[in-house]
Structure 1
Amino acid sequence: MQPTREPLDAVRVPARATQINVFRHPSHVLLEHRERLLNQRPATVWLTGLSGAGKSTLAYEMERRLLGKGSLAFVLDGDNLRHHLNRDLGFTAQDRHENIRRTAEVASLMNDAGLIVFSALISPHRADRAMARAIIGDERFVEVHVSADLQVCEERDPKGLYGRARAGLITHFTGISAPYEAPEDPALRIDTSQLDLHQSADQLMSYLCERGLVQ
């Protein structure tokens, strides 16, 4: 059964776009057929949290585990997307909004193909994550807060970004010069300052199994 989504005009098409002479072409393959073939239910696990919290590390570990179990998964990593699809975007609030919108649209298409998607983006604004949920569909959207606090993330600083932000070399940096709005009621909250990678992945895998998304 297809998840309920908001009308296309309300969510998925920018105001400047036009639908004149544009028509839908439905697939002859139903989602149920893809689910039976892959033995899984498509979903997007939206990993949100500060830079350095461990979102990408967790996402790729989950991808590895699911493929090892025979499930088909794919990671949409924020940094990787900014090298390609979103290379024209900066880090202003408007550009972050568009970054989330494009990523959610790609995740939705991958879900339509039957895949389980792990989206690893800071996605600091609640409104933007709500937009992503509306695009992907509530039944498919799993919001996970990777919740290591700022001090822990700054101590890790795996990319050297916090140091550059503190020195004023990076503007609009979440947690330093731009806000982060933590999820108020995520499906799951994983504190990577208390759990190592394997424990974090175990917790997320247990949740996905309980939801019946993977076997």
Structure 2
Amino acid sequence: MITLHHLEYSQSFRVLWLLEELGVKYELKKYNRDPVTHQAPDEYKAVSPLGTAPVITDGDICLAETGAIIDYILDRHPNDQLNPKADSSDRTQHLFWLHASQGSMMPLMLMDSIFRIIQERVPALLNLIIRPVLNRTGDGFIKPRMEKLLIQAEQSLAKQDWFGGSHLTTADILLSYPIESANARGYITDAHPNTKAWLARIYSRPAFKSAKALDDRDTMVLPLG
């Protein structure tokens, strides 16, 4: 049986949500971050090959990386709705957003997080020097790319309710973390009504709610500070 080693405020929530959507048996082991450093505890790092979240174990198998874990779970528990087949009309769009999530949107949100953490933690005098540089980089690199992605998201969601096509797919599950992060940081505005409506739809799903109840957190986004 698969065991999800679930670190709070981490990308492993998406794996937890997937398991709830599938309705399969699994074991959940929770780990809390250090309240000061926000780092994973040593007991978690001892399990994870990379010391990062998410990670699952299944017998002698220990697997990290969200995309690899999702593929592994769907190999074990195939689901044509969550993972459209090659001959499905939804397959191309599903694949685009599945990989845009990890390949385009997540790196931008990671950079945004790092910039914000630096500005929160450096001494005030040094911050006077760093802040203009980081803000200029954010305005010139992160924001324009996020805006293009969100425009495409709006266009996709104007045609159907889900990024993966006519039904929720793992593309939607993967996108939940970077889009909720973008929403929390002000990238998603009233100019993105379709994306806001999509967020409301994922929040209303029974499996999302049950995963949230198991997670015991109000947000998937790691707090700064």
Q: Tell me the TM-score normalised to structure 1 length.
A: 0.26
Structure showing greater relative contact order (alpha-carbon pairs closer than 8 Å, 6 or more residues apart): 1
User: Where is the helix percentage greater, Structure 1 or Structure 2?
Assistant: 2
Structure 2 length-normalised TM: 0.25
